[in-house]
Every structure is written in C-alpha cells, then in structure tokens.
A = this chain, B = another copy of it.
Amino acid sequence: MSRVRGEGSRRGRRHKASIFAALGDETRLALLTKLSEGRRLSIARLTAGSSLTRQAITKHLRVLRQVGLVRGVRRGRERLFELDPGPLEEARRTVDRISRQWDEALARLKSLVED
C-alpha cells in the first residue's frame, strides 16, 4: 500500500545499495565469514590471519557496523565484534525481488508467444 505503482520501490534504494556495497569487498566478506562461526572476536584476532594492518581491518569493521552487519561491544581493553544477520535478510529479499520479477516477466512474455 505504501508502494507506489511504477516506482519499483525507490524508497530505501540508497540504503539497500549501501548494504551491497558493504558486502562488495573481499576483505569484508572474509570478516563476515569468520564472524559467522559464532565466536565474538576482537580486532586483534580478526586481524591475525590477514596481511593487512590492524587499522585497515578497523576501517572495514566500521563500514560493516555502519550498515548494521556487525555490532561491537567493549570488554575490558578489547572490543568484541559479532555478526548481525538482519541486513543479510534485507539483501536477500532485494535479490529475490529482482529475480522473481524477471521470472514473472519472462513467463508473461512466453505465454503471449505461445497463445
């Protein structure tokens, strides 16, 4: 009902794009994969396997945090990060919407040809 015809959900497109943009980096995908294992990890731990510096990883974590893919809580002298799958669901729905719309359009066109 809030979806105006023909606009194809222009509302929030900027936000959805920012989620994909956050996912659109090899290093950040690797960070998310590590965090998806369930353990909360400090910046130092997340940096460990990487060839990048701690500060580079810190910047990537900030990008992930800004779109809500990750949360950081302070524990003593370290900050532990954990995954938040919320935005992932949103990304999945966006991908599904485009894919489904395409399938339905193809089906319509096909039925026109066949009749």
Contact = CB atoms under 8 A, between A and B. Distances in A.
Q: How many copies does the complex hold?
A: 2
Contact of A21 (B25, B37, B83, B98): B25
A106 to B, nearest CB: 6
Interface string A22-34: 1111101110111
B17 A26 contact: yes
A31 to B, nearest CB: 11
A8 B33 contact: yes
A103 B36 CA distance: 8
Given A17-B23, A20-B25, A37-B105, 19 more contacts: A9-B33, A13-B26, A13-B29, A14-B26, A16-B29, A17-B25, A17-B26, A17-B28, A20-B23, A20-B29, A23-B24, A23-B95, A36-B101, A36-B102, A37-B101, A85-B99, A85-B103, A92-B92, A92-B99
Interface in A7-58: 8-10, 13-14, 16-26, 28-30, 32-39
Contact of A88 (B16, B37, B99, B109): B99
A92 B103 CA distance: 16
